Chain A
Amino acid sequence: MAFRHKNTRRIEGLDSNVWVEFTKVAADPSIVNLGQGLPDISPPSYVKEELAKAAAVDRLNQYTRGFGHPSLVKALSQVYERVCGRKIDPLTDILVTVGAYGSLFSTIQALIEEGDEVIIIEPFYDCYEPMVKMAGAKPVFIPLRYKNDGNSTSSADWVLDPAELANKFNSKTKAIILNTPNNPIGKVFTREELQVIADLCIKHDTLCISDEVYEWMVYKGNKHIKIATLPGMWERTITIGSAGKTYSVTGWKLGWSIGPQNLIKHLQVVHQNTLYTCPTPLQEALAQAFWIDYKRMDDPDCYFYSLSRELESKRDRMAQLLQEAGLKPVIPDGGYFMIVDVSTLNVDLSDVDEKQPYDYKFVKWMIKSKKLSAIPLSAFCGPETKRQFEKYIRFCFIKKDSTLDAAEAILKNWNKQTA
């Protein structure tokens, strides 16, 4: 039977996805999985307890308020009022979504359309590009460039060229997507760097979509700054957060968008026409968890800070393991990913009969022969820069000690095998 029904133009070419490819391969339990960004550590016990409590209340198993469960938006407004130093209305300035992913989608669908250009900083969390395309707009890429010639590298060494950035803005530029702390590099944008971006947004009357899911994972000597708090930015910024990253519960898929009412109201319209409401018991549990930590935001035991400390030592350990294996990792200032240049290992994959970039081939080879997985960095680049980034791979280090022990064993043996 001839079937005339193809997919719509809006999703043409958006079907391939690095995760679908690599999570399948890494699902084998014998593989040490440092690829996909999910913790294998347990969420804090009070978070699980709150969920059990919520599920026991009958009405919390039924629909709640579409734009966000009242106790959750209230808790979010309190936490972020404190962080931002401005009043945030829980009903009009916040939308709860299915993960930060859902916030990105709602924001882009609400505010971006055909004819618009959206600036994306490379390397970027891979969904930005297909979401911008699905909205009919044109992604305009600008790479972070490595500026240091020294031996050890830090994510701070990866910077934007201000003149190059300014050139990307024009009258069609509707938004710039900022991700700080950045996935995959782990860069934490400084106030000065944010000011450069802010100045351009104000000059060109552009939106800023600020993906801040790793906002609490910032290591010593660094501070997470919200671009929305810079002068002139609140009215043009949507700030996105994630319960999954904040509380190590990626499987809860709850996120939020915070911004001025006249922008958030359009995200709310998208939300009411896409999935209407998010799960209730999870939102209630999250609200209670936030209250617990809100009350101790002056206390170092607050989970927002204690998780960060725990991660910093994992970061340091991961870096050491890679260095001992002869690699040069880029030490991240934030987030729970670390990228590393693998070209120094000189693994010859030229006989691998695929048109894929080097890092894709490398990771597949590494999974097969070393039983260790990572994610190729060219998945996080636009078409022009794949060559520039194809020698890097990304490791995730929010893993329990035994996982890192297993990675250590593989990395120690690596040199022996290739000697």
Chain B
Amino acid sequence: MLRRAGQSLHHFLLGRKSSAGYSSYSSEAKMSRPVQARRLEGTDKNIWVEFVKLAATYSKVNLGQGFPDFPPPDFLKEAFVRALSGENHMLHQYTRAFGHPPLVNILAQFFGKLLGRDLDPMTNVMVTVGAYQALFCCFQAFIEEGDEVIIIEPFFDCYEPMTKMAGGTPVFVPLRPKAPKDGKLMSSADWQLDPAELASKFSERTKAIVLNSPNNPLGKVFSRGELELIADLCVKHDVLCISDEVYEWLVYDGKEHIRIASLQGMWDRTVIIGSAGKTFSATGWKVGWTVGPNRLLQHLRNVHQNSVYHCATIAQEAVAQGFQRELELYGKADSYFVQLPKELQQKRDWLVQSLDAVGMKPIVPEGTYFLVADISKFKSDVPDVPDSDEPYDSRFAKWMVKNKGLAAIPLSAFYSGAHKNNYNHFIRFCFAKEEATLKAANDILQKWKREKTSP
């Protein structure tokens, strides 16, 4: 996922005016003792910093960034405006720290319905600053030195530094691609865990496993069988499950998103994480939540009250109204949760076609708004550099944005340091984009192909 800054950042980075001559007192004076805490060790590198800058500088079509370039639905924007301008100006002040009551109430209702459980909004739900902060609370609440955390590769990049910052040890297990059936395009379903390999990663030090389904970057939607495999191991080894389900509504081809917390023995050991940003196409609102048993959430509340304490009120009010609408329209054609995946599936198919037509081999995602493509055929444009530390796909992505103006993210960004070269000829595209954007991407790809095949 890439954070976007847009046009303003582009100009900002390149064309800052310096301020009028203020005295700058001893700009090089520093404290003499080392200052930073050891918990930051190994967590400072961040791939997005480099790729955001490149995209801002060079890209004409940006499919790297993990957020929609279309707006949130009207009903949500209207709810936001109503909240900020209404008679109740107290919506500009602090709300309940663990979640604005209208929001936790509707989330408890909604997810209670989906999980077939009675949920208490005060103890089984907590609102966070995006799913990102929910993840942070989980790691801080449950992971410390001596603990191992199993992370399935490829993974949303923050899981690793969050584990480390909590003093834990990440233990990686890869999804491995199986060859697709003859003549068919590979699907994200073809990337699978080896059950024996997965089982071997569990030890008495294993505190948690992070599950992300639907998975960023591959788009894999774990099947019931796959989830049962993971669940059995969690129960057997008494391990927690941090279940990142931010893309829960973005599931295609009639597939079902199954919540691991609904499997036998899992409710008591699972924290479910969700995101208004992904659910309602409003990533800039940074509203997320956790759902789980009180004996786990009480510790998340502890971390939350000692780190951020309150989340912004107005967006919570608006999201609550959004969910109210969706509860009423649940399963109906008008539901945003029905319409959005329908629209995105079309965009997915469009991009799949574009890539396939030029020889990039797309892995058709079952969910999320990401798509990974194999770029082996395009290798000729970007030569191998035998002694280079940098994975091939990273050099390719950089070359592509600089020379073709098309931004995407190298798959190696989603692997641990030791494994970055294992799958280094794939790049990830985001297709939550307006038709015009996807068409422009297609034009770039077509032109590129023509240039390759002409003498």
Task: Indicate whether A and B interact.
Answer: yes
| A253 CA to B26 CA, complexed, in Å | 33
**Stretch of A11-19, A190-198, A377-385 contacting B (4+ beta carbons < 8 Å):** A11-19
Contact B72–A61 (Cβ < 8 Å): yes
**Stretch of A32-40, A363-371, A387-395 contacting B (4+ beta carbons < 8 Å):** A32-40
B340 to chain A, nearest CB (A): 15
Contact A282–B312 (Cβ < 8 Å): yes
Contact B97–A86 (Cβ < 8 Å): no
**Interface assignment of A231: CB less than 8 Å from any CB of chain B:** yes
User: B residues within 8 A CB of A131?
Assistant: 306-307
| A63 CA to B68 CA, complexed, in Å | 10
User: Closest residue of chain B to A17, judged by CB?
Assistant: B305
Contact B32–A62 (Cβ < 8 Å): no
Given A63-B3, A273-B43, A275-B308, also A8-B91 (CB < 8 A): no
User: B residues within 8 A CB of A249?
Assistant: 92-93
Query: Which of the four size classes fits the interface of chain B?
Result: 35 or more
**Interface assignment of A357: CB less than 8 Å from any CB of chain B:** no
Contact A111–B35 (Cβ < 8 Å): yes
B31-46 CB contact bits vs A (8 Å, 1 = yes)? 1110111111001101
**Interface assignment of B415: CB less than 8 Å from any CB of chain A:** no
| A1 CA to B81 CA, complexed, in Å | 48
Contact B39–A99 (Cβ < 8 Å): no
**Interface assignment of A58: CB less than 8 Å from any CB of chain B:** yes
Contact B77–A61 (Cβ < 8 Å): yes
| A43 CA to B65 CA, complexed, in Å | 35
**Stretch of A64-72, A143-151, A291-299, A347-355 contacting B (4+ beta carbons < 8 Å):** A64-72
Within 8 A of B (CB), among A34-62: 36, 38-40, 42-43, 48, 51-52, 55-56, 58-62
**Stretch of B130-138, B376-384, B402-410, B445-453 contacting A (4+ beta carbons < 8 Å):** B130-138
Within 8 A of B (CB), among A255-275: 260, 262-263, 266, 269-270, 272-275
**Stretch of A102-110, A178-186, A304-312 contacting B (4+ beta carbons < 8 Å):** A102-110
Given B9, B31, B141, which contacts A207 in the complex, CB threshold below 8 Å?
B31
**Interface assignment of B80: CB less than 8 Å from any CB of chain A:** yes
User: A residues within 8 A CB of B350?
Assistant: none
Given A10, A251, A270, which contacts B314 in the complex, CB threshold below 8 Å?
A251
Given A8, A111, A254, which contacts B37 in the complex, CB threshold below 8 Å?
A111
User: B residues within 8 A CB of A161?
Assistant: none
**Interface assignment of B236: CB less than 8 Å from any CB of chain A:** no
| A243 CA to B365 CA, complexed, in Å | 42
Contact A250–B133 (Cβ < 8 Å): no
| A8 CA to B144 CA, complexed, in Å | 6
Contact B299–A11 (Cβ < 8 Å): yes
User: B residues within 8 A CB of A234?
Assistant: 25-26, 29
Contact A266–B35 (Cβ < 8 Å): yes
Contact A10–B92 (Cβ < 8 Å): no
User: Closest residue of chain B to A15, judged by CB?
Assistant: B302
User: B residues within 8 A CB of A361?
Assistant: none
Contact B308–A102 (Cβ < 8 Å): yes
Contact B33–A7 (Cβ < 8 Å): no
User: Closest residue of chain B to A97, judged by CB?
Assistant: B308
Given B26, B158, B299, which contacts A273 in the complex, CB threshold below 8 Å?
B158
**Interface assignment of B95: CB less than 8 Å from any CB of chain A:** yes
Contact B24–A86 (Cβ < 8 Å): yes
User: A residues within 8 A CB of B92?
Assistant: 42-43, 48, 248-252
Contact A65–B9 (Cβ < 8 Å): yes
Contact B285–A64 (Cβ < 8 Å): no
User: A residues within 8 A CB of B5?
Assistant: 64-65, 70
| A74 CA to B295 CA, complexed, in Å | 44
Given A38, A58, A65, which contacts B94 in the complex, CB threshold below 8 Å?
A38
| A63 CA to B65 CA, complexed, in Å | 9
Query: Which of the four size classes fits the interface of chain A?
Result: 35 or more
A106-145 CB contact bits vs B (8 Å, 1 = yes)? 0001111100000000000001001100110000000000
Contact B308–A105 (Cβ < 8 Å): yes
Contact B144–A253 (Cβ < 8 Å): no
Given A52-B84, A81-B22, A113-B38, also A59-B6 (CB < 8 A): yes
Given A64-B4, A101-B308, also A135-B285 (CB < 8 A): no
Contact B94–A251 (Cβ < 8 Å): yes
Contact B24–A87 (Cβ < 8 Å): yes
**Interface assignment of B367: CB less than 8 Å from any CB of chain A:** no
Given A20, A60, A135, which contacts B97 in the complex, CB threshold below 8 Å?
A20
Contact A110–B308 (Cβ < 8 Å): no
Contact B40–A266 (Cβ < 8 Å): yes
User: A residues within 8 A CB of B39?
Assistant: 109, 113
User: A residues within 8 A CB of B283?
Assistant: 61-63
**Interface assignment of A221: CB less than 8 Å from any CB of chain B:** no
Contact B35–A235 (Cβ < 8 Å): no
| A205 CA to B34 CA, complexed, in Å | 10
User: B residues within 8 A CB of A58?
Assistant: 69-71
Given A17-B305, A59-B69, A231-B25, also A251-B313 (CB < 8 A): yes
Contact A7–B299 (Cβ < 8 Å): yes
Contact B284–A61 (Cβ < 8 Å): yes
Within 8 A of A (CB), among B8-54: 8-9, 12-13, 16, 18-19, 22-26, 29-33, 35-40, 43-44, 46, 48, 52
User: B residues within 8 A CB of A276?
Assistant: 3, 130, 132, 158
| A17 CA to B310 CA, complexed, in Å | 13
**Interface assignment of B181: CB less than 8 Å from any CB of chain A:** no
User: B residues within 8 A CB of A3?
Assistant: 238, 268-269, 295
B266 to chain A, nearest CB (A): 12
Contact A63–B308 (Cβ < 8 Å): no
User: B residues within 8 A CB of A7?
Assistant: 141-142, 299, 302
**Interface assignment of B425: CB less than 8 Å from any CB of chain A:** no
User: Closest residue of chain B to A41, judged by CB?
Assistant: B89
User: B residues within 8 A CB of A282?
Assistant: 312, 314
**Interface assignment of A85: CB less than 8 Å from any CB of chain B:** yes
A69-97 CB contact bits vs B (8 Å, 1 = yes)? 01100100110010001110011000000
Contact A86–B23 (Cβ < 8 Å): yes
A121 to chain B, nearest CB (A): 20
Contact A110–B30 (Cβ < 8 Å): no
Contact B32–A273 (Cβ < 8 Å): no
| A280 CA to B282 CA, complexed, in Å | 10
Given A11, A135, A253, which contacts B310 in the complex, CB threshold below 8 Å?
A253
Given A62-B283, A250-B94, also A85-B77 (CB < 8 A): no
B84, B161, B299, most chain A CB atoms within 10 A: B84
Within 8 A of A (CB), among B310-340: 310-315
Contact A64–B301 (Cβ < 8 Å): no
Contact A98–B129 (Cβ < 8 Å): yes
| A119 CA to B275 CA, complexed, in Å | 38
Contact B93–A10 (Cβ < 8 Å): no
Query: Can you list 23 A-B contacts (CB < 8 A)?
Result: A3-B269, A7-B142, A8-B140, A11-B306, A39-B93, A40-B93, A51-B84, A58-B69, A61-B77, A86-B22, A91-B12, A98-B311, A101-B308, A134-B306, A207-B31, A249-B93, A250-B310, A252-B313, A262-B35, A266-B40, A275-B133, A275-B308, A279-B284
Given contacts A5-B269, A11-B306, A55-B77, 7 further A-B contacts (CB under 8 A): A8-B142, A14-B302, A61-B285, A87-B19, A90-B16, A251-B312, A253-B311
Top 9 nearest A-B pairs (CB, nearest first) are: A280-B284, A251-B313, A113-B37, A58-B71, A275-B133, A7-B299, A65-B5, A42-B89, A8-B144
Using CB atoms and an 8 Å cutoff, list the residues of chain B in contact with chain A: 3-6, 8-9, 12-13, 16, 18-19, 22-26, 29-33, 35-40, 43-44, 46, 48, 52, 65, 67-72, 77, 80-81, 84-85, 89-97, 129-130, 132-133, 136, 140-144, 158, 161-162, 165-166, 207, 238, 240, 268-269, 277, 281-286, 295-296, 298-299, 301-303, 305-315
